[in-house]
Amino acid sequence: MTRQRFSELIAAYGTDPRRWPAAERDDALDLLARLPSLQEEIDRMTALDAALDAWPNPAPLSLDAAALAARISATPQARAQSRAEIRTVRRFRWPAIAWPNAAGLAAAALAGFLVGLSGLDSSLLPTSVETVDQLVVASAIEDATW
């Protein structure tokens, strides 16, 4: 038994040796008899023990399972939504949620159309392409470099 363990013991179980675990009680009492300075710590913690013992316990001494089940079943529960109600809620929320996504998709499509119409992407092709086979190889090489 160490001083640290003794301090943990009285902090967890209080200053009354009857509350201490039986396996450690004798060692703790021996340490207390050998080191009288630990009595000061016991005296300090006695006031805390007295305050905790005086505090009222709001929990009932025994638990009545039948009474607890009756209280729980008497409490109104939230009604589960039917599938029709869920679909109705989703139907009305769909435009509010979907319009930013649809607007972004439309903007991306318009930007792609304008880039294709302006010919900006034609400057990326190699100028020495003469056949379709060379175009496929050139685009594969270009994709690999990106």
First to last CA, the chain: 69
pLDDT at residue 107 in the model:
93
What are 18-54's pLDDT values in tens digits?
A: 888 989 999 998 988 888 888 888 888 888 888 888 8
Per-residue tokens: 130: 């003469």
pTM above 0.85, yes or no: no
Per-residue tokens: 36: 């009288």
Q: In this structure, what DSSP letter does residue 37 have?
A: T
* Segments in 3-131 forming alpha helices (H): 3-13, 22-34, 38-54, 65-74, 83-118
pLDDT at residue 42 in the model:
87
pLDDT at residue 49 in the model:
86
What are 97-120's pLDDT values in tens digits?
A: 677 888 889 999 998 888 777 766
138 touches 126 (CB < 8 A): yes
The percent of residues in the chain predicted with pLDDT above 70, rounded, is 65
